[in-house]
Amino acid sequence: MVVARPNLSLAEKLFFPALLTGIRITWKYFSRTLVAVITGNRDKRVTLYFPEEKWEVKDGYRGAPTLVKDEDGREKCVSCQLCEFVCPPKAIRITPGSIAPDSSNAKIEKAPREFKIDMIRCIYCGMCEEVCPEEAIFLRKDYLFTGLTRAEMVHDKKRLYELGGVMQRPIKKWANK
Ligand code: SF4
Ligand code: SF4
């Protein structure tokens, strides 16, 4: 398929109209923020005093992928590895494990021995959440992750459960979408 080259108007061919439009938009928001700071009207600001102020995300926001437990504190993940298989950037690494036969959860076939998500690779697509048959992995509201090394940006199983917490039943997985 050949896409026809658009015919540009004289204004589009010149550099300065677009430049002036950009400056006008920047000035509009700069002056609005300046007035808001001077008058103390915080609602009018278009910027945040980060990191003291943080963006409040809405329900259904797809932040970092996390693992969740049920209301009895049991791991929901059965280490089926579907999420690992489907993850586009291969950010998930699971080491399957077994549940001890004397455990009250022994009827569950497996549980992950280790579960790692590389947050440098993760693109927050949500496919792991979509594919999980146990509703064990959810994208939560957390979005601020920093680290000085690559290793710090890999969330291990302990960290994933800390972030995910408990997901109460009945699971309203689709309610906020
Ligand atoms: S959100 Fe997407 S990229 Fe991130 S771990 Fe899940 S499937 Fe992989
Ligand atoms: S989180 Fe879900 S899809 Fe991923 S291994 Fe566990 S049970 Fe399977």
In this predicted model, what pLDDT tens digit does every residue of 43-98 receive, in sequence order?
A: 777 778 888 888 888 888 999 999 999 888 888 898 999 999 999 999 999 999 88
Model confidence pLDDT, tens digit, residues 118-171: 999 999 999 999 999 989 999 998 888 888 999 999 999 999 999 999 987 666
Q: How far is CA 57 from the centre of its chain?
A: 11
Quick one: average pLDDT of 35-39? 85
Give the strand pairing for 65-67 and 137-139. Answer: antiparallel
Give the Å distance between the CA of 86 and the centre of ligand 1: 8
Is residue 128 in contact with ligand 1, taking CB distance under 6 Å? yes
Nearest to 96 by CA among 85, 129, 88, 71: 85
Q: Which atom of ligand 1 is nearest to the CA of 121?
A: 3
Amino acid at 86: V
Percent pLDDT > 90 in the chain is 46
Ligand that comes closest to the CA of residue 140: 1
Cα 117 from Cα 84, distance rounded (Å): 9
pLDDT at 177: 41
Is residue 127 in contact with ligand 1, taking CB distance under 6 Å? yes
**65-164 has which CATH code?**
3.30.70.3270
Contact 64, 153 (CB under 8 A): no
Is residue 68 in contact with ligand 2, taking CB distance under 6 Å? no
Q: Which alpha helices (H) appear in 40-170, and where do they start and end?
A: 82-86, 127-131, 157-164
Model confidence pLDDT, tens digit, residues 144-155: 888 899 999 999
Is residue 117 in contact with ligand 1, taking CB distance under 6 Å? yes
Write out the residue limits of the CATH 3.30.70.3270 domain(s) in the chain. Answer: 65-164
Q: Phi and psi (nearest 5°) for 111?
A: -150, 150
Is residue 91 in contact with ligand 1, taking CB distance under 6 Å? yes
Cα 91 from Cα 150, distance rounded (Å): 13
Ligand that comes closest to the CA of residue 81: 2
